[in-house]
Amino acid sequence: MQKILVARPIFPDVIERLKQYFDVDWNQGEVMPADELTRRLADKDGALTAGDPVGAAALAAAPRLRVVSNMAVGYNNFDMAAFNASNVLGTNTPDVLNESTADFGWALMMAAARRLAESEHWLRAGKWQKWAYDGFLGSDLYGSTLGVVGMGRIGQALARRAKGFNMQVIYHNRSRVALEIEAELNAEYVSKQDLLRRADHVVLVLPYTKENHHTIGAAELALMKPSATLTNIARGGIVDDAALVEALRSKRIAAAGLDVFEGEPKLNPDLLTVPNIVLTPHIASATEATRRAMANLAADNLIAALGEGPRAGRPPNPINPDVIGKARS
Ligand code: GLV
């Protein structure tokens, strides 16, 4: 039987599925440090990860490894140049999380705009004595302008929901999306600068790459309206968290919603000191149905890539399909 490592605790029934095909080494404990991950990968044919960094050293130490299946749509934890150089396949879990993640983007954006977390903390602290005409004034979503940075599948799902709020949709992306999609979403393609200047609510839904590290920093925040909100459901590192703290403190922008952080699960402690922010622990895809779908898709990818099951040799979501069928190097 081929051997696999499942690097994180996941649904036990998905482990049972994997056990039908493989000898499974399952980490049910804490997130493994890099040296333990490397050691446990050394004799494996495949692995299932969820955000665990996998780079050249781990691949070099695991000569049998042919596939690493990430239970996430984002795969910035994989060094794809090293995967390609070693002919190791990477896979991810796109699409199954689009709608849940888009829902959550709206939840954070609305919470930021209407000061949900801030007012709830105030109420819980026993500070509510009287109604006040100016208590927790926020900014409207209905009829406002939504700025989506990153118009991939999740960005489109997010923008589609704007119709019911009668919002104008503007977007920025590496390249313009198909005209039919723009027409369906009633979305206008604009430069990043224009988007930041015009949007009432900016939502970040782009993948993390070295090039877009700190895509939103002090200079970009300075372009935004003082009444605007910023929501990040993409990846930590896209926003300069220290610059964001400063912009929120000085009311340069009104509020923010963050589900992802630089260096998570640790976060910049200053984020905890500003009231006009909603903070959640990377849960945008976290519904029972969606996380199950992601885990099962990650298992499907692993099973198929290792030549087992009904799709043997044809994993549904290869990131670097060119390496399929090539000998490990
Ligand atoms: C979650 O962050 C994912 O990339 O799926």
Burial readout 289-305 (b: 16 or more C-beta within 10 A, e: otherwise): ebbebbbbbbbbbbbbb
Give the pLDDT band (50/70/90) at residue 147: very high
Residues 209 and 126 in one domain: yes
Single residue among 279, 298, 313 that ends a domain in this structure? 279
* CB atoms closer than 10 angstroms to residue 310: 8
What integer pLDDT is reported at residue 313 of this predicted model?
A: 97
Stretch 120-149: mean pLDDT: 97
Residues 243 and 292 in one domain: no
228 burial (CB, 10 Å; 0-12 / 13-18 / 19+) is: buried
Residue with CA at minimum distance from ligand 1 atom 3: 72
Check: CB of residue 155 under 8 Å from CB of residue 181: no
Q: What angle do CA 19, 24, 29 make, to 5 degrees?
A: 120
Give the pLDDT band (50/70/90) at residue 135: very high
* CB atoms closer than 10 angstroms to residue 186: 13
Residues 18 and 165 in one domain: no
Which one-letter amino acid corresponds to residue 113?
A
Stretch 258-267: mean pLDDT: 96
Residues 213 and 272 in one domain: yes
What integer pLDDT is reported at residue 224 of this predicted model?
A: 98
What integer pLDDT is reported at residue 57 of this predicted model?
A: 97
Q: Which domain holds residue 296?
A: 3-96+288-323
Is 153 known to be catalytic? no
What integer pLDDT is reported at residue 62 of this predicted model?
A: 98
Sign of CA dihedral 286, 240, 219, 78: negative
Would you say residue 256 lies in a domain? yes
Residues 155 and 231 in one domain: yes
Q: Which residue has the tokens 């099951």?
A: 309
Residues 207 and 157 in one domain: yes
Is 160 known to be catalytic? no
Would you say residue 328 lies in a domain? no
**Number of compact structural domains in the chain:** 2
Residues 36 and 126 in one domain: no
Distance 153 CA to ligand 1 centre (A): 13
Cα-only R_g, the chain: 22
Residue with CA at minimum distance from ligand 1 atom 4: 74
Check: CB of residue 277 under 8 Å from CB of residue 257: yes
Residue 257 CA, chain-centre distance (Å), reads: 14
SS3 state at 192 = helix
Would you say residue 176 lies in a domain? yes
What integer pLDDT is reported at residue 216 of this predicted model?
A: 98
Stretch 282-306: mean pLDDT: 98
106 burial (CB, 10 Å; 0-12 / 13-18 / 19+) is: buried
Hey, which of 48, 78, 232, 285 would you mutate to test ligand 1's pocket, going by the most ligand atoms within 8 Å of its Cβ?
285
Q: What is the mean pLDDT of the chain?
A: 98
Stretch 316-324: mean pLDDT: 98
Would you say residue 213 lies in a domain? yes
Which has the closest alpha carbon to 44: 61, 31, 27? 61
* CB atoms closer than 10 angstroms to residue 200: 21
Give how far Cα 3 sits from Cα of 6, 26, 84, 141, 313, Å. 10, 11, 22, 51, 17
CATH of the domain at 192: 3.40.50.720
Residues 66 and 130 in one domain: no
Per-residue pLDDT of 162-202, as tens digits, reads 999 999 999 999 999 999 999 999 999 999 999 999 999 99
What integer pLDDT is reported at residue 58 of this predicted model?
A: 98
Residues 55 and 83 in one domain: yes
Per-residue pLDDT of 34-83, as tens digits, reads 999 999 999 999 999 999 999 999 999 999 999 999 999 999 999 999 99
> Is 96 touching ligand 1 by the criterion CB < 6 Å?
no
Stretch 303-324: mean pLDDT: 98
Backbone angles phi, psi at 170, to 5 degrees: -120, 150
Residues 51 and 179 in one domain: no
> Is 72 touching ligand 1 by the criterion CB < 6 Å?
yes
Residues 78 and 36 in one domain: yes
